[in-house]
Amino acid sequence: MKYSNPVVPGFFPDPSVCRVEDTYYLVCSSFNYFPGVPLFESKDLVNWSPIGHVLTRKSQLDLTDSPTNGGIYAPTIRYHQGRFYMVTTNVDHGGNFYVWTDNIYGEWSDPIWVDQDGIDPSFYFEGDTAYFMSNGTDDEGKSGICQCTLDIKTGKKLTPTKCIWQGAGGRYLEGPHLYKVADKYLLVASEGGTEYGHMLVCAKSDQIYGPYENDPDNPILTNRNLGGYQIQGCGHADLVSDLKGNWWFIHLAFRQLDRWQQQHVTGREVYLVPVTFIDGWPKVGHDGTTRAQFETDRIASDVSQSPVPNLTLANSQIGNQWLFLQNPDLANYDLSQLPEQVGLQGTTVTMDAAKDSPTFLGTQQRGIAFTLKTKVQLTAGEAGITAYMTDEQHYDLAVRKTATGFELFRRIRLGEARQEDHLISLPSDTDQLEVTLILTGSPDQYSFTAATQGQTYQLGTATTKYLSSEVAGNFTGVMLGIYAQKSADAASSWANFSQLVYQNQD
């Protein structure tokens, strides 16, 4: 069959995968969004269904004052002796920890903390021994890929931490994973930074603590030299075998807005490439590159890759497809009328806030072309839809109550520049306004449309690239969402959102 990349489009970075019998499970980074660590399952590696999140309680995930580039970094998922483990880093609150569950569809444990620095932690199990590694510093102060053994029940270190590999010579060594393939230990990591120079490297050894021999073909996967190719930034991979014994890498990459426009807004996404071992070394993808399509007989010919589904309040869930910023105050959310509508109570915490949690629900922008549409009922304050990259980079289309009625407007926030324009006054003799808000996206621009009282209004466009990771200087992707907020002197009220639809159009 022929499949297309990305297999999970949108802001789902740092993927990790494991297989249990005939089912694959995938986790990704979530940064300062709540719940944390999205969880997917698949039977065929190309169709992935969201089944929830790993970190669903504040006791597991403290995001107090976590910025957009903070919170949860690269997780690893592993299955050992009937139990799932997910290990990750909360870079703002506590460092490295892991949680476990015996039911992948149920609740996970509270965190078990690991007294080891670094980020991008990973587990490797051999017999009853649990090996923990991260890209950090060992007990003698040597930096690189560092490893120790743990008491898996307590997280206590059983052995000193030892640096086992310092990479293949590239900068920003990160994302380590360890495997055993053909009686050799295979250590895979990334270098070059999670940007255009990103690359996957590996080494192998007869002994788990090394010494490790670098693959003579390093980097084994990179698109850094594919100029004019939309897929870039390949790296941070996890290796998995299928039921037939074939090997695959699940890895991150991103799509530029087009071939020659070197910005991306959909974040780092999930890609799939075949792997073949020759003389013990992995040969990856298409001559060491990732392409938009692969044709393979490894996946059954009757498997069909499904497009990204449209999201509505009826076919999606708050806390699964729709996320909060930082730890939310659930008193500001009325979910009692789902799936017909969701209520948001505005507070003085706005979408510009670097701290605290605004009243917001967002989903990943999964296509470069899309439409987000909703109907809003408002009596006071402000409510709208947003294309949100960070608190300093977002575009809003909103309605607010004024002294004489209501007002439609567009807001652009780009760093220190903040502008509200296309103001349209809507005199009203009632205390409530109902308005349809529409946000559309294309490679070049976002467009803003509103409809109310029998009239349709065009509220301009805004350039896409200014919400890109390259301009924003962060590691996430654009989230598309709804929000409510108010000024300090405004009355408190609820905004009701109905007919909420996200439509992917790639």
Active site amino acids: 14, 174
**Of 188, 300, 305, 323, residue with least CA distance to 251:** 188
**Of 346, 337, 335, residue with least CA distance to 384:** 346
3-state SS class at 3 = strand
Order of strands across the sheet that contains 143-150: 119-126, 129-137, 143-150, 162-165
Strand partners, 408: 399, 424
Q: Which residues contact 242 (CB under 8 A, 6 or more apart)?
A: 19, 45, 248, 298
Measure Cα distances from 173 to 17, 51, 188, 497 in Å.
Answer: 20, 31, 10, 45
**For residue 249, what are its two tokens?**
């890498």
DSSP symbol at 268: S
For the beta carbon of residue 171, count every other beta carbon within 10 angstroms. 10
DSSP symbol at 141: S
DSSP 322-391: BBEESS--GGGEE-TTTTTEEEEE-BS--TT-SSS--EEEEEE--SSSEEEEEEEEESSSEEEEEEEEET
Please report where in the chains the tokens 């393979």 appear, as a residue: 296
**Phi/psi of residue 7, nearest 5 degrees:** -80, -25
Give the amino acid at 108: W
Give the amino acid at 406: F
**For residue 203, what are its two tokens?**
């080494």
Give the amino acid at 59: S
CB 165 within 8 A of CB 203: yes
CB 363 within 8 A of CB 321: yes
